């Protein structure tokens, strides 16, 4: 009977960093398609998380349309019916805090 050759279903790739001056191999890594997809997804997720952190915790968020500064938000809250109720609640809280202190 003939023996069938086993074919590898996964191709392996090799990532090599070579020093151009000396032509020495500096670093080598063996990769498969799954590893490449996984590393790509991880890099995209890390960059997205970094962008979200910068937008949330820095003044850069004020450059986005629809995002107001706190003083603008307070002045917008003061106008209209819902704003007056919110201000009334703030006054009530302040009176209660003064009474408890």
pLDDT digits (tens, 9 = 90+) for 75-88: 776 655 554 555 66
Q: Are residues 79 and 55 in the same domain?
A: no
- CA distance linking residue 8 with residue 10, whole number of Å: 6
- Longest CA–CA separation in the chain, Å: 97
Average pLDDT over residues 40-45: 97
Q: Are residues 20 and 47 in the same domain?
A: yes
- CA distance linking residue 43 with residue 82, whole number of Å: 44
Q: Are residues 21 and 45 in the same domain?
A: yes
Q: What is the pTM of this model?
A: 0.50
What's the total number of domains in the chain? 2
33 three-class SS: helix
Residue 2 lies in a domain: no
With vertex at residue 74, the alpha carbon angle to CA 56 and CA 82, rounded to the nearest 5 degrees, is: 115
Give me the domain span that covers residue 80.
68-101
Q: Are residues 38 and 73 in the same domain?
A: no
Q: Are residues 20 and 42 in the same domain?
A: yes
Split at pLDDT 50, 70, 90, the class of 1 is low
Average pLDDT over residues 55-73: 78
């Amino acid at each position: 009977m003939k023996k069938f050759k086993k074919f590898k279903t996964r191709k392996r790739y090799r990532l090599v960093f070579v020093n151009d001056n000396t032509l020495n191999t500096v670093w080598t890594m063996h990769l498969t398609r799954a590893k490449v997809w996984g590393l790509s997804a991880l890099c995209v997720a890390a960059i997205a998380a970094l962008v979200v952190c910068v937008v949330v915790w820095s003044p850069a968020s004020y450059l986005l349309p629809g995002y107001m500064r706190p003083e603008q938000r307070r002045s917008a809250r003061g106008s209209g019916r819902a704003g007056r109720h919110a201000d009334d609640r703030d006054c009530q809280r302040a009176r209660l805090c003064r009474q408890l202190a």
